[in-house]
Structure 1
Amino acid sequence: MTQKIGTLSGAQLSQLQTRGLRWLNGDKLGLARSGGAGPTDHKALSFEGETAMIPLFNSQVSDSPYSAQLDESSDQVLIFDQGTLIAKAVAPGTPRFYALSTADGVPYSQIATLHSKDVLATTVLQTCVRYRNRDTSCQFCAIEESLVTGKTIAHKTPAQLAEVAKAAVELDGITQMIMTTGTPKTSDRGAAVLVESILAVKASVNIPIQAQCEPPADDVWLYRLKEAGTDALGMHLEAVSDRVRQRIMPGKASVPLSRYMSAFKTAVNIFGRGNVSTYILAGLGDTEDEIIDMGLRLINMGVYPFVVPFVPVAGTPLQNYPIPDGAMLDRIFLQLGPALSASGIQSANTKAGCAKCGACSSLKKYESPSMPQPDNQQVMEIAHA
């Protein structure tokens, strides 16, 4: 049976998100993101209403079998696999709020940006205590590179964020907001600046918000985030084994996995099952089994394990790192997707955040009871580990 042009299976999307696209008419690239906090070096493309972030700018893309070009007669993006047309997509346009600036002259696009097609995202603090020392920095991170290029400002004030969020909702129909932050020197690990930012935005516009930070040293900050109006919380592991954490993110690894797990437990009690999530970058060195085991353990706790393919970013120590195998992602998702469905934790039901958006991963395509079910004995063993 011939696949309908315009649709992509989960396995095909995983291949696109690992191999990337060679953009054939570069002078007509349009809206795309390079440098800064993730997802970066990507372009958003919508396939029959489902938007995906596809890598464009990392050097590994030059070897991709996939290419794309804009069909100016239809404004569609044509996707090819070794020259054969396999899909058609639509590229979200530049949002109207990008044309505005604050009273003191800061462009709105330097305060918050469009992710996917309807998500407003911002990095409240564009600096990180770990970043400038390669003995402590996350080797995949480019958080401060967009400061160097002048694409953003170091600290977005609560008033600025409230002003931009209100405009984005009213002008462009933004449906949710994600606030992340570089980690400051304080023990709250960024939660304090998120609290004041979320309070300001919620006072200005009614929009679901996910906050993202490292687990604070004291759980009181999790409660304060909720009280401020935070709808969902992301605390990102990136890697799931101490072996990889120590090698790839030595500074962040000083916050032990045990602290993440205890913070996840408390956060689920506060925000509810499915409204706590974590980013896991497949391809950094964790094995498939390690990612699956951690994913099932998190699902059992009520945490959404948002597994995405690692994409090397220019200007980082891992810019020449091998890209992950798309087939590996497919095997991982065939385990985690049905487990999410069976647990009642699905991206569509979360209030806000990366898992709800889903554009950086094909995992949501596997959230179906009809998918092959994970081994029940494995789930039970992990749940009680």
Structure 2
Amino acid sequence: MEWKHLKARVLETGAVRLSGEPADEYISRSAAGPSAGSPGSIFFTAGGGRRVRAGMDDASPIEVVHRGGGEADLIIDGEVISGRLEPPALHCPRQAYITVSGTCIFHCRYCTVPGLPGRRKTIDEIVRMVKDVSDRIDAIAITSGVASSIEEEEAYILEVVAALRSSGLPIGVSIYPTLRTPARLHALGVAEVKFNLEAATPELFAKMCPGLSWETIREALRSSVALFGHGRVYSNIIVGLGETDDDLERLMEYLAGSGVIPILRPLTPAASLADRSRPSAERLLSLARVHERILREAGLDPRHALTMCAACTGCDLVPGRDA
């Protein structure tokens, strides 16, 4: 079975059964998004830039057997794929991917963060975290909840970025933006930005993220392309919120036509959407074909990503990487 079909099955299932030798050093835990507060996840790679991230569930029909020293086998649908477990630096392999504020005043229906006792990391703490993994990373990625207000969060993130500039590594930032956020991040030398539209339509966004503005995010993405360049601006779009495939195709065409790389993120059922199903492997593969065509026609290639999700590829089917 081709890698993209295997990965789609893992993304459909969402978790694997981890067995074999102890693997604590290979387990990553999230402080943001729908996976926050979960038992953790692992990154399995079959080489050649092919990577998948999966949660851990003893009841999963998919098994990863750790043979020791990172060597592992992925056992899925009767097939055995040899590979490795990748140790996360911070959150994911080869990046210091840091959640600055692990709390949020907004209540997006798919996100567990507002219900968790999160806190804001100090700037000194963040600098120390990056320094501690400096020999294992190629990039820094910054994300955050909204601790008190959108404007205050942006101001704090700008301080964080300024403190990290001396690392010399490319920095990517993914926060809820104001209209001035792109220019302010660009002035600090940020390499890439990711502002997440999350839902395929503004109507669906309004239902999922009350109190936030889809149009503000869209405008921030548009203005970011002129600053950071084609292929250096990204936006997560969740698959499984109730949208149609036509909705997703229209939004992908709009974003790619604007120079933004859309990232299709399978829904992780959580928070008030805990009773939803993850998108099927068949749907993910069908959308991946459309996604690949749209990016090719727009001259966009996620393989050139420096930071954040498009550089990691663990959670999504990524055109050009997952063949």
- TM-score by length of structure 1 reads 0.75
Shift of 1:140: 1.6
Q: What is the match of residue 196 of structure 1?
A: 159
How far apart are the structure 1 equivalents of 2:47 and 2:181? 40
Structure 2 residue runs of 5 or longer lacking an equivalent are: none
Q: What is the match of residue 125 of structure 1?
A: 101
For the residue of structure 1 that corresponds to 2:269, the secondary structure is coil
1:297 aligns with 2:262: no
Q: Decide which moves more: 14-23 or 287-296.
A: 14-23
Letter in 2 for 1:195: L
How far apart are the structure 2 equivalents of 1:186 and 1:75? 42
Alignment of 1:173-252 (within 5 A): 174-188=137-151, 190-203=153-166, 205-216=167-178, 219-252=179-212
Greater Cα radius of gyration, structure 1 or 2: 1
How far apart are the structure 2 equivalents of 1:66 and 1:235? 33
How far apart are the structure 2 equivalents of 1:278 and 1:141? 17
Q: Deviations over 1:262-292 (max 9, x none)?
A: 2211111111111111111111211111111
Structure 1 residue runs of 5 or longer lacking an equivalent are: 96-112, 131-136, 369-385
Q: What is the match of residue 270 of structure 1?
A: 227
For the residue of structure 2 that corresponds to 1:188, the secondary structure is helix
1:45 aligns with 2:44: yes
How far apart are the structure 2 equivalents of 1:364 and 1:14? 13
Letter in 1 for 2:8: S
Q: Deviations over 1:242-279 (max 9, x none)?
A: 34223322233xx1x33222221111111111111111
Q: What is the match of residue 91 of structure 2?
A: 114
Shift of 1:22: 3.4
Residues 147 and 153 of structure 2 are in contact (CA less than 8 Å); yes or no, is this contact kept in structure 1? yes
Residues 264 and 276 of structure 1 are in contact (CA less than 8 Å); yes or no, is this contact kept in structure 2? yes
Q: Deviations over 1:162-183 (max 9, x none)?
A: 22223322x32x0111101112
How far apart are the structure 1 equivalents of 2:44 and 2:291? 24
Residues 52 and 315 of structure 2 are in contact (CA less than 8 Å); yes or no, is this contact kept in structure 1? yes
- TM-score by length of structure 2 reads 0.88
Residues 358 and 364 of structure 1 are in contact (CA less than 8 Å); yes or no, is this contact kept in structure 2? no
1:333 aligns with 2:298: no
Q: Structure 1 residues 365, 189: closer, same or farther in 2, change over 3 A?
A: farther
How far apart are the structure 2 equivalents of 1:189 and 1:331? 41
Residues 44 and 85 of structure 2 are in contact (CA less than 8 Å); yes or no, is this contact kept in structure 1? yes
Residues 178 and 353 of structure 1 are in contact (CA less than 8 Å); yes or no, is this contact kept in structure 2? yes
Residues 192 and 221 of structure 1 are in contact (CA less than 8 Å); yes or no, is this contact kept in structure 2? no
Q: Structure 1 residues 282, 365: closer, same or farther in 2, change over 3 A?
A: same
How far apart are the structure 2 equivalents of 1:303 and 1:353? 14
Q: Structure 1 residues 139, 189: closer, same or farther in 2, change over 3 A?
A: farther
Q: Structure 1 residues 220, 323: closer, same or farther in 2, change over 3 A?
A: closer
For the residue of structure 1 that corresponds to 2:133, the secondary structure is helix
For the residue of structure 2 that corresponds to 1:237, the secondary structure is coil
**How many correspondences in the alignment?**
317
Residue identity (%): 20
Which structure: greater strand fraction?
A: 2
